[in-house]
Structure 1
Amino acid sequence: MGTRGIPNYHGGFEQFAEYFSVYLANQGHDVYVYNSSMHPYQEKTFKGVHIIHCKDPENRIGTAGQFIYDVNSILDSRKRNFDILLQLGYTSSSVWYKLLPKKSMVITNMDGLEWKRSKYSKKIQSFLKVAESLAVKSSDHLISDSVGIQNYLNTKYNVQSKYIAYGADLFHNPNEKVLNDFEVKPYKYNMLVARFEPENNLETILDGVVLSNKKETFLVVGKHDSNAFGAYLKKKYQHHDFIKFVGGIYDIDILNNLRYYSNLYFHGHSVGGTNPSLLEAMSSNALIVGHKNEFNSSILGDFAFYFESDIDVKGIIESIEKKDYLEKVNGCRNEIVEKYNWNTINKQYLEFFKDCLK
């Protein structure tokens, strides 16, 4: 519960919901995923997973629709006999906590520090702090997707949470032809993949790209036509032809090929836990330049470069070639094999479920 649904057409939680639910079904469990009525997939099952379609009016009334979709999902769950209700996030669901079914065990993945996101007004940030506390209060067990979130919950609320990261699959089949559609050559371009939110540091990265004396193509992957910040960035950099806004790409094979053949892959996320796109970049031979913060460094360690300012970005672009730092690239891949592969993550979730039920 709490995602827009499966198969994934949106983001990290949806990707996880798809992989984990299919894994559970393959293990013989009876598993259901709540899908928004706006989701393009309208079948009742997906690879053995039951789909419950719930009314979601977000397309008509905006963000408030998410609250209605969540309460519709919760009301539906009261009619069923679920052993476990896994909530992915809490932003628009925790206000309905009193409606959660008493007979189901509620496990919540607490996502990132939503109230820190700069896109929100002070009033909304205050609400999100309350929503966070309600999620903690109303859950039987908590999951943190990063050590940073785990430490925060323990310090702030004096509660324990289970640390389980996201997963990724190693990318094995590069296909150079994918680059033709983007008019780039292998290792002669840099890129980023992100939602268009200020705390993802897109502007800092792109300011550094503009400052750099090395004017190679820079691909900006993400839905830039869905919010004001995206429109602002497109307008700001419209006269820099080497910066290409290519829109959202949800075909994992295309994304992995772009990462694989990139020279530098920038990851600017600064709020939240283990970001799925970061793990995907690690698994696909990217040389990563991450924003310097606890969440990124706890995952990347010494296998990446870090930036804090546009000047840092400028210097890295001008001085770093991927071919000279393959030990960092290989280090990231090894981390995926040893810690963050999907099979391991799925097993950790299932074992945690079993422990909770005991």
Structure 2
Amino acid sequence: MTKSVAIIGTRGYPSYYGGFETAVRKIAPHLAESGWQVTVYGRDGATRDDDPARDARVVSTTTGGIESRSLSTLSYGFTAVLDALVHKPDVALVMNVANGFWLPLLRLRGIPTLVNVDGIEWERAKWGRLAKFVFRSGARTTAWFGTRLVGDAREIVRRWQADFGRRAVFIPYGGEEPGILPLESGLTHRGYALVVARFVPENTVAEFVEAARTIARSHDVVIVGSSGYGDELDEAVAELAATSPRVTWLGHLSDDRRLLALWQHAGAYFHGHSVGGTNPALVQAMLCGAPTVARDTVYNREVLGDSGVFVAPTPAAISEAVVDLLGDPVRQEALADAAQARAREHYTWADICRRYEAELTALVARGVRRRR
């Protein structure tokens, strides 16, 4: 019997926006290859339908919603759930606890859910008081109505057990080794600092931008990312790139090979994410062999182990660690090798996709037994 799955809560397939979208670009084709009927819900204009890597077996369905920072996830999630209620897949893979409010509808329709709870959204600095309340409430509803929960880091699994009394299965994010890629024009191998991040407070971008003023006195600096809304931080980075000849701002990159090449040849990659669990960008950087300086958090230590340099989230600490690493080729290669070996052991997409499929298959079988 062919099994069907609806994937709800991302910008669609294929999309290059963030971690959820990266996961769906890997999980959806894997499921299709295994014989599943896969439908990914998304937003109009948020996907690359001309992407040569797109799997034609994956059905992309767009629904309506309100395009704003505070309401987009809730509104698009709601309309996606309404459509899923009509088509009734065997199981739904739901991303983001903000969609927890709609899980009772799926349960009433008899659709079991596997919910990736992401990070601790209500602790993110970018959200105001109301948004934090919404995420916390959504998490509580997810704990009540989600059939099975996925935590992408062991610390996330621990937090959900402690805060909500719900067990979650640990499935991290993954990455792939890219092979040898060409060096970006104008840069030197292991000669530049790199940051790749969405421009939000918890990613330590503002602190890195200040640190970059010091780093750029002696080394090239490449900044990848944006807020997506033309915020003050975008303006500050644009000003820095315009006034410092050693700073390059590339904005948001949807060219995977170009981004992988930047990680592969970087001399020091700064990873400032502080609130999420296992971060896909960090895992991919490790598989590319990027010597990494990371903000000191329990999540980054869980992923990197002994293969990174950990710093306080201050411009002085960041610039000192990055400049020191850029001046130490031996340590660069030692960290690169250690990170790559660790990622190969724990964070490959092939293994992670199999684990997602196993959880979804178990939920379908559970639903079949219940109906019988």
TM-score w.r.t. length of structure 1? 0.91
Deviations 1:200-234 (A, max 9, x none): 00122222232448531111100256242433532
Alignment of 1:299-314 (within 5 A): 299-308=303-312, 309-314=314-319
Alpha-carbon contact 2:206-2:233 (below 8 Å) kept: no
SS in 2 for 1:7: coil
Deviation of 1:264 (Å): 0.3
Alpha-carbon shift at residue 62 of structure 1 (Å): 6.0
1:169 touches 1:336 (CA, 8 Å); kept in 2? Answer: no
**What is the letter of the counterpart of residue 319 of structure 2?**
K
Contact kept? 1:197, 1:229, Cα under 8 Å: no
C-alpha deviations, 1:114-138, integer Å up to 9, x for none? 1111111122212221121112212
* Alignment length (residue pairs): 350
Deviations 1:244-266, CA, capped at 9 Å, x for gaps: 22111111110111111111000
Match runs of 1:182-331 below 5 Å:
183-212=186-215, 214-224=217-227, 226-234=229-237, 237=240, 239-308=243-312, 309-321=314-326, 323-325=329-331, 326-331=333-338
- Other-structure match for 2:79: 72
User: What is the 5 A alignment of 1:29-178?
Assistant: 29-41=36-48, 46-58=55-67, 63-91=70-98, 93-101=99-107, 102-176=109-183
Gaps of 5+ in 1: none
SS in 2 for 1:171: coil
RMSD: 2.1
SS in 1 for 2:310: strand
Three-state SS of the structure 1 residue aligned to 2:60 is strand
Q: Cα 1:328–1:231, aligned 2, differ >3 Å: closer, same or farther?
A: closer
- CA distance in 2 between counterparts of 1:62 and 1:315 reads 34
Whichever residue aligns with residue 73 of structure 1, its letter is A
Distance of 1:253 and 1:85 partners within structure 2: 31
Residues 223 and 251 in structure 2, CA contact (< 8 A), matched pair in contact too: yes
Is the contact made by 1:190 and 1:216 (CA closer than 8 Å) also made in structure 2?
Answer: yes
Q: How big is the shift at 1:311?
A: 2.1
d(CA) in 1 for partners of 2:194, 2:290: 10
Partner of 2:369: none
How many Å separate the matches in 2 of 1:49 and 1:246?
Answer: 30
> What code does the residue aligned with 1:54 have?
T
Q: Is the 8 A contact 1:184 1:217 kept in 2?
A: yes
Measure the CA separation in 1 of the matches of 2:302 and 2:47: 36
**One-letter amino acid matched to 2:177:** L
Distance 2:79 2:126 in 1: 26
Residue 278 of structure 1 and its aligned partner are, at CA, apart by 0.5
Moved more, 223-232 or 253-262: 223-232
Change (3 A) 1:4 1:215: same
Cα-to-partner distance string for 1:150-196 (whole Å, 9 max, x where unaligned): 110010011100000011001212212xx11xx32222211100000
Distance (whole Å) between structure 2 residues aligned to residue 199 and residue 50 of structure 1:
34
Overall identity of the aligned pairs, in %: 23
Contact 2:40–2:60 (CA<8 Å) still a contact in 1?
yes
For 2:194, the aligned partner's letter is: M
3-state SS, counterpart of residue 338 of structure 2: helix
Do 1:196 and 1:229's aligned partners in 2 also have CA atoms closer than 8 Å?
Answer: no
Residue 293 to residue 166, structure 1, CA distance change in 2 (3 Å): same
- Cα gap change, 1:227/1:147 in structure 2, threshold over 3 Å: closer, same or farther? farther
Deviation at 1:65, TM superposition (A): 4.0
8 A Cα contact 2:122 2:133, kept in partner: yes
- Kept in 1, the 8 Å contact 2:15–2:46? The answer is no
